[in-house]
Amino acid sequence: MTAFQRLSRNFCENASFAKMLIVFTVSGGGLVALSEAKSEDGMNIVNSTEANDKKKRVVVLGTGWAGTSFLKNLKNSSYDVQVISPRNFFAFTPLLPSVTCGTVEARSIVEPIRNIVRRKNVAVHYWEAECFKIDAENKKVYCRSNLDEKEEIVVDYDYLVIAIGARANTFNIPGVAENCHFLKEIEDAQKIRRTVIDCFERASLPTLSDEERKKILHFVVVGGGPTGVEFAAELHDYVNEDLVKLYPKVKEAVKITLLEATDHILNMFDKRITAFAEEKFQRDGIDVKTGAMVIKVSDKEISTKEVKKDGAVSTTPYGMVVWSTGIGTRPVVMDFMKQIGQGNRRVLATDEWLRVEGCDNIYALGDCATINQRRVMEDIWAIFHKADKDNSGTLTVKEFQEVLDDICERYPQVELYLKNRKMSSLADLLKDSKGDSVKESVEVNLEEFKTALSQVDSQMKNLPATAQVAAQQGSYLADCFNRMEECEKNPEGPLRFRGEGRHRFRPFRYKHFGQFAPLGGEQTAAQLPGDWVSIGHSTQWLWYSVYASKLVSWRTRALVVSDWVRRFIFGRDSSGI
Amino acid sequence: MTAFQRLSRNFCENASFAKMLIVFTVSGGGLVALSEAKSEDGMNIVNSTEANDKKKRVVVLGTGWAGTSFLKNLKNSSYDVQVISPRNFFAFTPLLPSVTCGTVEARSIVEPIRNIVRRKNVAVHYWEAECFKIDAENKKVYCRSNLDEKEEIVVDYDYLVIAIGARANTFNIPGVAENCHFLKEIEDAQKIRRTVIDCFERASLPTLSDEERKKILHFVVVGGGPTGVEFAAELHDYVNEDLVKLYPKVKEAVKITLLEATDHILNMFDKRITAFAEEKFQRDGIDVKTGAMVIKVSDKEISTKEVKKDGAVSTTPYGMVVWSTGIGTRPVVMDFMKQIGQGNRRVLATDEWLRVEGCDNIYALGDCATINQRRVMEDIWAIFHKADKDNSGTLTVKEFQEVLDDICERYPQVELYLKNRKMSSLADLLKDSKGDSVKESVEVNLEEFKTALSQVDSQMKNLPATAQVAAQQGSYLADCFNRMEECEKNPEGPLRFRGEGRHRFRPFRYKHFGQFAPLGGEQTAAQLPGDWVSIGHSTQWLWYSVYASKLVSWRTRALVVSDWVRRFIFGRDSSGI
């Protein structure tokens, strides 16, 4: 133990010195040295003495989809980037359900973050630590290394990119956190894999009754979303393709139950996909229980309540429960939201440029944030007056047309509304409010304009918490950072309706490339753009090729493809490691 | 919790009932049912009611090299085999050092034991449990499942095969068990891999001084045997080929130290190999400290004492210590040895047929046993009288020649002695005792015979605790079991010098195929039969091909080869999972 470590340990051990916690400040990759500054609250702050002040310091929290996509696309070498995450790798999470049963190995879907940023012209430093406090006022983040005796690190930033994702949402249901498996991290998937094998080994022990065997081999999946459904399907394949060969005696005792609180599984998908999935699961013997809400999980039993009917409560013994019901907020984000007056929200609110509302130079993307899209109705007066160039108090179609692009860019719901209503031009909108007989020369006043646009805000909806959204946000934000100076001079965004000039950047716009729902047995359902639905074996091959191409490196690509090949030839491994 | 589990838990919780532990007995794969028998010591024994008594019950403890080799080679379907091991897989341990640095993946070198025995014509049952007591008197083994609330299982046997290997030997040096990594199990290798990455991440944290960085990146390997040397070499390659690219700043701080208590590393190998290894490590910058005995390991520092010189004690801070100094006895074996009067031994003593001395129908093989080879001198009187067919009190060369094969088979040291002394026949031996002028017709009396053979026992040595020995013992024992009945009728072993007739089987004879010592940088040293020494890159390729061919299944073979190819192309992964 060094003198310094001894010092900091002594401080911590001595309760009267507890507030005098030794902390460190790191600035822009510069050197760190000790100073004797003492802040008001008795906290020793170690200031950097030789900071490289020329470069703007960007701190990125998280190495998930959003953070990694940001880092990959950042090309402007005028930033000094520090990445902080408790995980020194990026994980290709869409393949997590495959990892739970060994269809793909955990290590095949991860890539060290240092490898991803290694050949960049941008200075990127990575610290393996977890952020536990964001101080927006003083532009600092407080982190703790899990490796080094919980020592604290304080990092200054000029720009902060919050991309720390979410945690599993237990809805505070008793026993869930203690007794259920989750499917958010690589470690979760590895633990599930071991637990499945453990259940089979336990059930094989000669001292058990048939009844006990059945309890141990009852696998419960809670949540009928794409992850839960994919895991149930993977598990079914694993059991029926591989495990039954090695555990022939326990085959009959295996049961997989999928619990969903709403009326259908995969309810964010097209009805055809839902119906196909429910039928396939029925054929496969996976027990799909819809309208069943979990109210308690003990160490051996799970209790559910019928959502409809009489609300009857039933309790079933289980061997393993996998909880996959959506995302919850990480404590550090919760604290930060309270600090900036967003305490009553579920995730951070940002504007359309991914800037956290009410903060300077803080961006949030991925699962820890949602874009708080501006309503047209909020700005209707400003829009009207900006468009009404001649200040006539009325708007001609021509005047409207001139600001139309800016409106559509600033308020994407307008474009969506026109598209959904199959309107070719804004004139059609005005027609709606003035009746069918409008001509190009028609003029509308503010009230009529309001009426014409009164419905557009109904088109607004939050983006789903998917890898696709996070990755697009990361690459969008990197693009903004790359052209920050350039766009400062020549703003490329839409008109500022409430202010002067233009926005620096175009707002973030999500492009949906479709979504897959693997259903097991080499069958996948896909909902592609334009509501195109594809189900079956060919879609499975589409899934293989899309996922292989989307992997982060040639190494992971080669590994995942070889894992698939290995599985085809040798099946999945069932060693308890 | 079932009523039964509740019952057994209640028993355990209630101290006054502690001795009335519920246990189960399993017999020959037959059914299990409850009876109310109560043994003298108050223990409820559940007897089997429907045992399949026709087949002999063989219980195999352990799924390592010896146990698996036995199972693979057992072909006689007249046995009912129960395998008990806390690990449901066989691990190809010679590749463990490669797993520590990700050259090979852990899962590539394991094969589920159920898969290995699946297609056999012999009934093999596997229970994932750990044996904690062997009751030789009542022919029972007591096991505990780690999975199922520590429930106990009692298994009856007709033949018991003990192949549970050994554990790492700490020599009771303080702090070793708590602070060191070992390299015996798959989990050990995985833990070492994570710890190496953790050390690099910790050392990269911006808050550390150069001195602290150096402490964290000081890797100490204790034990200069093949495993320790291979691990040090692997780690050096990992650091210099892969990690320096990702952690360029900490490169200078890395130090690898290899501690060995004797004068040289690899001292079981030819001197040329030792010299080459020591030179190569010096070039590589691996600090080899011979004559250094570890006396204490704290959580941050390791203390060593000079074996020679003045016995000076020095203490060095470290980041990770890997302890690889040889094998120790597992507690269950220790207890069993006390029970059968071998309490003062290090491992179980068996005879040349792998039967545990002093026990009926118990065999021990692999690292948990050594063959207590019979000395010629012990039997010299019996040998003389058996050979002296005409009871003349003297032995002619011809008489001696007639029993020579049996002597050489029963006492392999005789053959070794003749070979080492370059003697072509036993007559040469007698010449030694009678002077050079002996003729074929010479006769020796008992005293002269004793003198002639007085030196042969010096050739006896214990077999090394290697995979090669264990595997050959497993296959030898399986072969004995396969032909048990046949050899009962027609014994094929050597003459019983002390008794009548012949031994049923030939004694176990180890055939040494050579040993490798990988030294890193694609160089390997090998000591092949006939003291043939081969060192360098070509030997590395020999190593690749031998190890690939020796792997247990086509699946592991394909995986290990693809791991090697992957490493050549993409390097080793450094994700902290």
pLDDT score of A401 more than 70:
yes
Task: Tell me whether residue B493 is in a domain.
Answer: no
Q: Inter-axis angle of helices A537-550 and A554-570, to 10 degrees?
A: 150
Q: What b/e readout covers B546-574, taking b as 16+ CB neighbours within 10 angstroms?
A: ebeeebbbebbbbbbbbbbebbeebbbbb
pLDDT of residue A510: 93
**Span B509-525, mean pLDDT?**
93
**Span A122-146, mean pLDDT?**
93
Residues of chain A contacting residue B2, judged by C-beta atoms under 8 Å apart: 209, 211-212, 215
Give the residue, A468 or B36, on which the prediction is more confident.
A468
DSSP type of residue B439: -
Please give the model's pTM, rounded to 2 decimal places: 0.88
Closest CA–CA distance from residue A140 to any residue of chain B (Å): 15
pLDDT digits (tens, 9 = 90+) for A161-207: 999 999 999 999 999 999 999 999 999 999 999 999 999 999 999 88
DSSP type of residue A374: P
pLDDT of residue B310: 82
**Span A247-259, mean pLDDT?**
92
pLDDT of residue A38: 36
**Which residue of chain B comes nearest to A1, CA vs CA?**
B300
User: Are B24 and A207 in contact (CB < 8 Å)?
Assistant: yes
**Span B212-219, mean pLDDT?**
95
pLDDT digits (tens, 9 = 90+) for A494-504: 989 888 889 99
pLDDT of residue A82: 96
pLDDT of residue A11: 37
Task: Tell me whether residue A414 is in a domain.
Answer: yes
pLDDT digits (tens, 9 = 90+) for A410-426: 888 888 888 887 776 66
Which phi and psi (to 5°) does residue A14 adopt?
-85, 110
Q: Are residues A388 and A310 in the same domain?
A: no
Instruction: Specify whether the backbone of B315 is left (phi greater than 0), alpha (psi in -120 to 50) or beta.
Output: beta
Only one residue has tokens 């000079």, namely: B306
Among candidates A151, A246, A555 on the partner chain, residue whose Cβ is nearest the Cβ of B570: A555
User: Are A112 and B573 in contact (CB < 8 Å)?
Assistant: yes
Q: Report whether A154 contacts A61 (CB < 8 A).
A: no
Residues of chain A contacting residue B105, judged by C-beta atoms under 8 Å apart: 105, 107
Bridge partners (DSSP) listed for residue B82: B59, B125
pLDDT of residue B425: 66
pLDDT of residue A24: 46
Long-range interactions of A15-24: CB distance < 8 A, separation 24+: A19/A43, A20/A44, A21/A152, A22/A46, A22/A152, A23/A142, A23/A152, A23/A153, A23/A154, A24/A151, A24/A152, A24/A153, A24/A154, A24/B206, A24/B207
pLDDT digits (tens, 9 = 90+) for A302-320: 999 998 878 889 999 999 9
pLDDT above 70: percentage of residues in chain A: 87
* Boundary residue ending a domain (A430, A459, A488): A459
Quick count: other Cβ atoms within 10 Å of Cβ A112?
22
pLDDT digits (tens, 9 = 90+) for A518-547: 999 999 999 998 889 999 999 999 999 999
pLDDT score of B49 more than 60:
no
Tokens read off for A518: 């693997």
Of the pLDDT bands very low, low, confident and very high (cuts 50, 70, 90), residue A29 is: very low
pLDDT of residue B433: 61
Q: Are residues B203 and B311 in the same domain?
A: yes
pLDDT score of A36 more than 50:
no
Q: Are residues A532 and A436 in the same domain?
A: no
Task: Tell me whether residue B491 is in a domain.
Answer: no
* Dihedral sign for Cα atoms in the order B466, B468, B474, B476: negative
Q: Are residues B412 and B321 in the same domain?
A: no
Element (H, E) at B574: none
Q: Are residues A293 and A406 in the same domain?
A: no
Closest CA–CA distance from residue A337 to any residue of chain B (Å): 28
pLDDT above 90: percentage of residues in chain B: 63
Between CA A241 and CA A233 the distance in angstroms is: 12
Which of these, B518, B495, B511, lies nearest to B405 by C-alpha position? B495
User: Are B107 and A573 in contact (CB < 8 Å)?
Assistant: yes
Q: Inter-axis angle of helices B554-570 and B537-550, to 10 degrees?
A: 150
pLDDT of residue A31: 34
pLDDT of residue A7: 37
**Which residue of chain A comes nearest to B104, CA vs CA?**
A107
pLDDT score of B17 more than 50:
no
Q: Are residues B196 and B299 in the same domain?
A: yes
Among A478-482, A509-513, B26-30, which is the least confidently predicted range? B26-30
HEC string of A251-290 equals: HHHCEEEEEECCCCCCCCCCHHHHHHHHHHHHHHCCEEEE
pLDDT of residue A42: 35
**Span B500-517, mean pLDDT?**
92
Among candidates A201, A209, A562 on the partner chain, residue whose Cβ is nearest the Cβ of B88: A201
Residues of chain A contacting residue B125, judged by C-beta atoms under 8 Å apart: 206
Between CA B67 and CA A239 the distance in angstroms is: 27
Q: Are residues A279 and A202 in the same domain?
A: yes
Among A524-533, B43-52, B391-400, which is the least confidently predicted range? B43-52
pLDDT of residue B16: 37
> Mutate which of B22, B201, B213, B574 to disrupt the A interface (most A C-beta within 10 Å)?
B201
| Highest-scoring range by mean pLDDT, A549-553, B147-151, B444-448 | A549-553
Only one residue has tokens 């002639």, namely: B452
Q: Note the ipTM here.
A: 0.87
**Amino acid identity for residue A325 in this structure:** T
Of the pLDDT bands very low, low, confident and very high (cuts 50, 70, 90), residue A435 is: low
Between CA B314 and CA B322 the distance in angstroms is: 18
Task: Tell me whether residue B144 is in a domain.
Answer: no
Of the pLDDT bands very low, low, confident and very high (cuts 50, 70, 90), residue B243 is: very high
CA-based radius of gyration for chain A: 27
pLDDT, chain A, mean: 86
Between CA B380 and CA B395 the distance in angstroms is: 13
Q: Report whether A115 contacts A575 (CB < 8 A).
A: no
Helix/strand/coil for B428: helix
The percent helix, strand, coil of chain A (3-state, each to 5) is: 40, 25, 35
pLDDT digits (tens, 9 = 90+) for B95-134: 999 999 999 999 999 999 999 998 888 999 999 999 999 9
Bridge partners (DSSP) listed for residue B155: B26, B141
Task: Tell me whether residue A3 is in a domain.
Answer: no
User: Are B153 and A206 in contact (CB < 8 Å)?
Assistant: yes
User: Are A573 and B112 in contact (CB < 8 Å)?
Assistant: yes
**Amino acid identity for residue A220 in this structure:** V
Q: Are residues A450 and A548 in the same domain?
A: no
Task: Tell me whether residue A215 is in a domain.
Answer: yes
**Span B197-215, mean pLDDT?**
92
Task: Tell me whether residue A288 is in a domain.
Answer: yes
Q: Report whether B124 contacts B64 (CB < 8 A).
A: no
Residues of chain A contacting residue B32, judged by C-beta atoms under 8 Å apart: 206-207
The CATH number that applies at residue B226 is: 3.50.50.100
pLDDT of residue B424: 67
**Span B443-468, mean pLDDT?**
86
pLDDT score of A116 more than 50:
yes
Between CA B347 and CA A101 the distance in angstroms is: 40
Between CA B443 and CA B433 the distance in angstroms is: 11
pLDDT score of A3 more than 80:
no
DSSP type of residue B393: S
pLDDT of residue B414: 86
Residues of chain A contacting residue B554, judged by C-beta atoms under 8 Å apart: 570
**Span A216-228, mean pLDDT?**
96
pLDDT of residue A8: 40
pLDDT score of B44 more than 50:
no
pLDDT of residue B402: 85
Between CA A147 and CA A68 the distance in angstroms is: 22
Largest CA distance in chain A: 90
Of the pLDDT bands very low, low, confident and very high (cuts 50, 70, 90), residue B43 is: very low
Residues of chain A contacting residue B129, judged by C-beta atoms under 8 Å apart: 205
pLDDT of residue B37: 37
pLDDT of residue B387: 87
pLDDT of residue B185: 93
User: Are B114 and A574 in contact (CB < 8 Å)?
Assistant: yes
Among candidates A89, A153, A558 on the partner chain, residue whose Cβ is nearest the Cβ of B205: A153
pLDDT score of B209 more than 80:
yes
- Number of domains into which chain A is organized: 2
**Span B384-413, mean pLDDT?**
85
pLDDT of residue B53: 57
Q: Are residues B387 and B303 in the same domain?
A: no
Residues of chain A contacting residue B205, judged by C-beta atoms under 8 Å apart: 127-129, 145, 147-148, 151, 153
DSSP type of residue B55: S
pLDDT of residue B278: 95
Q: Are residues B286 and B191 in the same domain?
A: yes
User: Are A577 and B24 in contact (CB < 8 Å)?
Assistant: no
User: Are B105 and A107 in contact (CB < 8 Å)?
Assistant: yes
pLDDT of residue B370: 94
pLDDT above 90: percentage of residues in chain A: 63
> Mutate which of A23, A113, A201 to disrupt the B interface (most B C-beta within 10 Å)?
A201
Closest CA–CA distance from residue A261 to any residue of chain B (Å): 27
Q: Report whether B438 contacts B430 (CB < 8 A).
A: yes
> Mutate which of A27, A95, A152, A205 to disrupt the B interface (most B C-beta within 10 Å)?
A205
**Residue range of the domain that includes A316:** 176-328+513-570
**Span B217-223, mean pLDDT?**
97
Q: Are residues B410 and B277 in the same domain?
A: no
The CATH number that applies at residue B392 is: 1.10.238
Which phi and psi (to 5°) does residue A222 adopt?
-105, 120
pLDDT of residue B149: 66
**Span B356-371, mean pLDDT?**
94
> Mutate which of B27, B34, B57, B88 to disrupt the A interface (most A C-beta within 10 Å)?
B88
**Span A97-103, mean pLDDT?**
94
pLDDT score of B495 more than 60:
yes
**Cα dist. B394→B212, B390, B429, B440, B447 in Å?**
78, 9, 15, 14, 10
pLDDT of residue A436: 54
Give the residue, B119 or B279, on which the prediction is more confident.
B279
User: Are B128 and A575 in contact (CB < 8 Å)?
Assistant: no
Task: Tell me whether residue A305 is in a domain.
Answer: yes
Quick count: other Cβ atoms within 10 Å of Cβ A158?
15
Q: Are residues A188 and A280 in the same domain?
A: yes
**Span B344-368, mean pLDDT?**
94
Q: Report whether A521 contacts A284 (CB < 8 A).
A: yes
